[in-house]
């Protein structure tokens, strides 16, 4: 237990860094959605070798990047296309005739 006079107002410092460095989600139809910044990689994982993409989320550090299935990335089709343009030898890349 301590006396309230010992409390001081919060001040952000260089040592502590900023609070809430991650952006809040967009609420779309009551569901939280985050914006994809970049598709970093792709692979087939798990049972049945399901396709997944390694996603960098906009406003989040790289440590928060994660593998997501294509059905979770409906609003990132242009970024998936860009990934395959930069990595034409990646499995699943569109074939040129």
The Cα 42–Cα 54 span in angstroms is 6
Q: Is residue 29 part of a domain?
A: no
Q: Which range marks the domain in which residue 62 is found? A: 35-97
10-residue mean pLDDT series, the chain (97 residues): 84 71 84 92 83 94 92 92 89 62
Q: How many domains does the chain have?
A: 1
Q: What is the pTM of this model?
A: 0.70
Q: Is residue 52 part of a domain?
A: yes
Q: Is residue 73 part of a domain?
A: yes
CA distances 61 to 11, 30, 40, 47, 97, Å, are: 23, 25, 13, 29, 39
């Amino acid at each position: 237990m301590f006396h309230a006079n010992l409390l001081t107002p919060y001040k952000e410092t260089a040592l502590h860094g900023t609070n809430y460095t991650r952006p809040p989600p967009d609420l779309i139809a009551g569901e939280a959605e985050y914006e994809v910044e970049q598709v970093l990689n792709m692979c087939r994982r798990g049972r049945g070798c399901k396709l997944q993409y390694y996603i960098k989320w906009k406003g989040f550090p790289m440590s928060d990047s994660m593998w997501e299935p294509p059905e979770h990335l409906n609003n990132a089709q242009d970024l998936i296309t860009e990934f395959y343009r930069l990595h034409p030898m990646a499995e699943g890349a569109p074939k040129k005739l």
